[in-house]
Amino acid sequence: MENYDLIVIGGGPAGLAAAAAARENGVENILVLERDKEPGGILNQCIHNGFGLHTFQEELTGPEYAARFIEKVEKLDIPYLLNTMVMDITEDKIVTAMNREKGMFQLSAKAIILAMGCRERSRGALNIPGYRPAGIFSAGTAQRLVNMEGYMPGKEVVILGSGDIGLIMARRLTLEGAKVKVVAELMPYSGGLKRNIVQCLNDFDIPLKLSHTVVDIDGKDRVKSVTIAEVDADGKPIPGTEESYCCDTLLLSCGLIPENELSKNAGVALNPVTSGPIVNDALETSVEGIFACGNVLHVHDLVDYVTEEASNAGRHAAAYILKGAATDTRRISITPADGVRYTVPSCIRPGHMEETLTVRFRVGAIYKNSSIVTCFDGEPVNRRRRPVMAPGEMESIVLERKTLEKYPDLKEITIRIE
Amino acid sequence: MYHDIIIIGAGVVGCAIARELSRYEADICVLEREEDVCCGASKANSAIIHAGYDALPGTLKAKFNVLGSQMMPRLAAELDIPFRPIGSLVVRTKDQPETLLEELLERGQKNGVPKLRILEQEELRRLEPNLAPDVVSALYAPTAAIVCPFHMTIAFAENACVNGAIFHLNTTVDRIEKAASGYDVHTDQGIFSGRVIINAAGVYADRFHNMVSADKLHITARRGEYQLFDKTAGNHVSHTIFQLPGKMGKGTLVTPTVHGNLLVGPTAEDTENKEGTNTTLEGLSSLAARASLSVVNLPMRQVITSFAGLRAHEDSGDFIIGEVSDAPGFIDVAGIESPGLSSAPAIGAEVAGLAAELLSLKKKQDFVSTRTGICRPSELSLEQRNDLIRKQPAYGNIVCRCEMVSEGEIIDAIHRPLGARSLDGVKRRVRAGMGRCQGGFCSPRVMEILAREVPMDMLAVTKSGGRSGIVCGYNKEL
């Protein structure tokens, strides 16, 4: 069995940035395993621009952004295997993988970084009633067909869900000549970025119907029509509000689910809110030496934040590999409260944390003129005013090591919206 | 085109009959309107081989169910069909009289179901910790089993095909006329003449029967909606859990599937629409409550897909099997609702025997009784698997990441007898697209493999044949 210091599962933006950071922090023996035929992950099909504003202060397309990290990984001489599926990961960090050339093989690692990304919620998981014809696509599948393979999924389109991929695809399909008739969103607010609502829907006069969902799909062979209806406060369709749209295509952009089947096999504990691993300030999971970053950890809006998080994971994995496991066992938990759905990380090792720690989180509803309140053992210590916060946009606070040092008995940090 | 025997319908019953008939020296053809076998009720049901205690003694349902159940273990081995005799429990809640279970036990014993017994609270809870608190006892039938209905139907069809039966897919029967010797079956692909016609047309069997007989049948499509759960929920129960039967069927069951998922359903709603395989808001939202009468803590967030099947319910309530009295040479196999899947092996043997007698057919010397299914690499040892990949590297390339299906399996599914020609055809054979992402990642890749292997144009690749094309053109063409 081949031994590595670090195996990175996934060669998308998270995996590439994590591998690069680990190498820059002194890890020699690294391998990246990627299931697709090229590195770069989902960015390869995101041919729109808007990537890299934070990381590079310029506006790149997805493939351009990915290319920067592919070049970096190649320059750093980090090997990667393509078309290679990881079949299993164990708690003692044995990775079973398979490809055409090597067959099924096992590798061992001192540390593993999970960077497998996420998948889209399917029609079945949404319990949308009706027939099951051709013409129902997740927005990402349609994006791959159009942007990478050059095929049009349909001519007349209804989109359910206002997640960013759905919004981007509304514009893309319109530019390719299709008619996007409506975007329906179950929630009373959009799940996507404000800039995407403006640039992808408003600019093309595509109506967005909030508090609406699909209640029927007609068509035995191919989609013929889709019926949407308004929903009440509990998300239940209101009888009499049904509207039918003739169309041949229904795109679903109803949320992303971190792909943690491998993590579960390795015994990694998951957070039921994010469906991603529970991690500490080093982005280390409940299994020592297994780290996580990117959309497998929690779903991000911006790849720039994925890069930042993944670099942190790479650096922390390097510290683990080169310096060994954490010795100080004191922990401070970070608990989401009123209006905050989750936080990443969910605990801090005060004896090992870096100078600053960015805690990322999402709110559960739209808040206007509200404050993010940070409490130490129940006492508010920081209050930051925000004009607007929405579930579709990730929020963050920064904790400083020197502040925490002033609270040697601190047990719990709470973050809430007020 | 002239044939000794024409079978209308390539569902599990039509295919079981074709397989049994292919033991004889005869010219057999099967007409199917869909692009694949197993496209009607056979693909959308509970996937259960019932033990046989439900049907009233003396009915055809009782007879063929018990016989079919007895035949299944051997058939599963012969034809490489995924089959697991996990046993079933019919549970009684505290507000239901004890006599109901005893009646069912007695009925089962009369029908010849082996090893039935009633389990009391303690043993029951030990077997199934997730039973509802109100459940007090259950009828245990250890011979009940779960099966893959797709593989069962496809195995019959492939084996029939290898033994000489000819399948005409994409062939819709319009009308049937009495001819000088036998019948002329008019289809959208021309006229097929046969000495014996076997009507295994599911919900449409009444229509074809009524074309040749004055003694009319009436079949109602009875819709059953189901929800399928992720494999992480597959161990929620370890037996098939039935509720006490009512007049619309056996209530809502909760069962593991042979592939490791959890299945909940069906509802039961009569519809006049014989194409009405749509799920409904009411149906889907009622399933959790219906199932909770017998099983609690169902992880509803783990549902990965829903579907509906149409059971062919004939007014008489029993199967109708045999030569039609005023239409010699025309054999009905109609009203095959539950336990149709369980009965299919026995119906196949019975009907093949009937037809063979009518035509005085002789058995073949060279009948091939076994079939090897598509290789399941996950069941191989590491050495065997790597051997396979060395010989055929496509087995090392995973296409469906949820179900871990390799390109090699998909290629085999396309190239074997009656091979897959659509995404759904591939899905039923090797499960690519059957997992938690429901084809989100693998469908473009399966399309490419179909286009390359069949071969066909990408624009011609369909979900399920006919006008179910997936992409409508190239970019910039609209």
Residues of chain A found within 8 Å of residue B382, distances taken between Cβ atoms: 104
Q: Determine the distance in angstroms separating the CA of A392 from the nearest CA of chain B, rounded to an integer.
A: 21
- Catalytic residue check, B151: no
Please name which of B198, B189, B199, B148 lies closest in space to residue B169, comparing C-alpha atoms: B189
Q: Determine the distance in angstroms separating the CA of A129 from the nearest CA of chain B, rounded to an integer.
A: 5
Q: What is the CATH number of the domain that holds A319?
A: 3.50.50.60
What's the average model confidence in pLDDT over A128-137?
97
Q: Does A154 share its domain with A127?
A: yes
What's the average model confidence in pLDDT over B390-396?
98
Please name which of B298, B269, B263 lies closest in space to residue B282, comparing C-alpha atoms: B269
Q: How many domains does chain A have?
A: 3
What's the average model confidence in pLDDT over A5-12?
98
What is the pLDDT, as a whole number, of residue B351?
98
- pLDDT 10s digits, A52-79: 999 999 999 999 999 999 999 999 999 9
What is the pLDDT, as a whole number, of residue B247?
62
- On the question of pLDDT at B246 being above 80, the answer is no
What is the pLDDT, as a whole number, of residue A72?
98
Q: Report how far residue A108's alpha carbon sits from residue A2's, in angstroms, rounded to the nearest whole number.
A: 6
On whether any CB of chain B is under 8 Å from the CB of A102, the answer is yes
DSSP conformational letter for B91: E
Q: What angle do CA A58, A60, A61 make, to 5 degrees?
A: 165
What is the pLDDT, as a whole number, of residue B245?
79
- pLDDT 10s digits, A284-308: 999 999 999 999 999 999 999 999 9
Q: Does A223 share its domain with A145?
A: yes
Q: Does A127 share its domain with A115?
A: no
Q: Does A140 share its domain with A173?
A: yes
For residue B345, cis peptide bond before it (omega within 30 degrees of 0): no
pLDDT band at B322 (very low <50, low <70, confident <90, very high): very high
Q: Domains of chain B by range and CATH?
A: 2-42+149-219+317-359 (3.50.50.60), 85-145+220-312 (3.30.9.10), 377-460 (1.10.10)
Q: Does A130 share its domain with A244?
A: yes
SS3 of residue A294 by DSSP: helix
Query: Which of B402, B468, B477 shows the shortest C-beta gap to A134?
Result: B468
Residue of B nearest to A217 (CA): B278
3-class secondary structure per residue, B239-280: CEEEECCECCECCCEEEECCCCCEEEECCCEEECCCCCCCEC
Please give the mean pLDDT across all residues of chain B. 96
Half-sphere exposure of B353 (CA within 13 A, CB side): 8
In the listed set A205, A234, A254, which residue is the last one of a domain according to the structure? A254
Residue of A nearest to B302 (CA): A125
- Most B-contacting residue of A143, A172, A222, A254 (CB-CB within 10 A), to test interface: A222
Q: Report how far residue B224's alpha carbon sits from residue B283's, in angstroms, rounded to the nearest whole number.
A: 8
> Structure pTM?
0.96
Please name which of B446, B159, B328 lies closest in space to residue A144, comparing C-alpha atoms: B446
- On the question of pLDDT at B477 being above 80, the answer is no
Verify whether the Cβ–Cβ distance A221 to B305 is below 8 Å: no
Q: Report how far residue A174's alpha carbon sits from residue A154's, in angstroms, rounded to the nearest whole number.
A: 11
What is the pLDDT, as a whole number, of residue B478?
66
Q: What angle do CA A239, A242, A247 make, to 5 degrees?
A: 155
What is the pLDDT, as a whole number, of residue A284?
98
- On the question of pLDDT at B249 being above 80, the answer is no
On whether any CB of chain B is under 8 Å from the CB of A120, the answer is yes
What's the average model confidence in pLDDT over B455-475?
96
Query: Which of B440, B459, B478 shows the shortest C-beta gap to A138?
Result: B440
Q: Report how far residue A85's alpha carbon sits from residue A82's, in angstroms, rounded to the nearest whole number.
A: 8
Share of chain A above pLDDT 70, in %: 100
- pLDDT 10s digits, B175-195: 999 999 999 999 999 999 999
Which residue type sits at B228?
Answer: L
What is the pLDDT, as a whole number, of residue A392?
86
What's the average model confidence in pLDDT over B441-460?
97
ipTM of the complex as predicted: 0.95
Q: Report how far residue B329's alpha carbon sits from residue B195's, in angstroms, rounded to the nearest whole number.
A: 7
What's the average model confidence in pLDDT over B254-271?
97
Q: Does A282 share its domain with A186?
A: no
Please name every residue paired with B17 in a beta bridge, in sequence order, or none if there are none: none
Q: Determine the distance in angstroms separating the CA of B238 from the nearest CA of chain A, rounded to an integer.
A: 21
- On the question of pLDDT at B248 being above 70, the answer is no
Q: Does A222 share its domain with A300?
A: no
Main-chain phi, psi angles of B323, to 5 degrees:
-70, 135
Please give the mean pLDDT across all residues of chain A. 96
Q: Does A203 share its domain with A314?
A: no
Q: Does A250 share its domain with A374?
A: no
**Which A residues in the span 179-218 are in contact with B, Cβ-Cβ below 8 Å?**
215-218
H/E element, A250: strand A249-252
Q: Does A115 share its domain with A193?
A: no
Question: What domain range is A406 assigned to?
Answer: 328-418
Q: Is A177 left (phi over 0), alpha (psi -120 to 50) or beta?
A: left
Q: Does A116 share its domain with A128?
A: no
Q: Does A85 share its domain with A132?
A: no
- pLDDT 10s digits, B57-94: 999 999 999 999 999 999 999 999 999 999 999 999 99
- pLDDT 10s digits, A196-210: 999 999 999 999 999
What is the pLDDT, as a whole number, of residue A193?
87
Q: What angle do CA B320, B324, B328 make, to 5 degrees?
A: 150
In the listed set A303, A325, A347, which residue is the last one of a domain according to the structure? A325
In the listed set A305, A325, A345, which residue is the last one of a domain according to the structure? A325
Verify whether the Cβ–Cβ distance A124 to B473 is below 8 Å: no
Half-sphere exposure of A306 (CA within 13 A, CB side): 31
Query: Which of B279, B307, B385 shows the shortest C-beta gap to A104?
Result: B385
Sign of the dihedral defined by the CA atoms of residues B117, B122, B126, B128, in that order: positive
Q: Report how far residue A277's alpha carbon sits from residue A293's, in angstroms, rounded to the nearest whole number.
A: 9
What is the pLDDT, as a whole number, of residue B251?
84
Burial A154-186 (b: 16+ CB within 10 A, else e): bbbbbbbbbbbbbbbbbbbbbebebebbbbbbb
pLDDT band at B430 (very low <50, low <70, confident <90, very high): very high
What is the pLDDT, as a whole number, of residue B401?
94
- pLDDT 10s digits, A323-337: 999 888 999 999 999
Please name which of A82, A85, A72, A58 lies closest in space to residue A13, comparing C-alpha atoms: A72
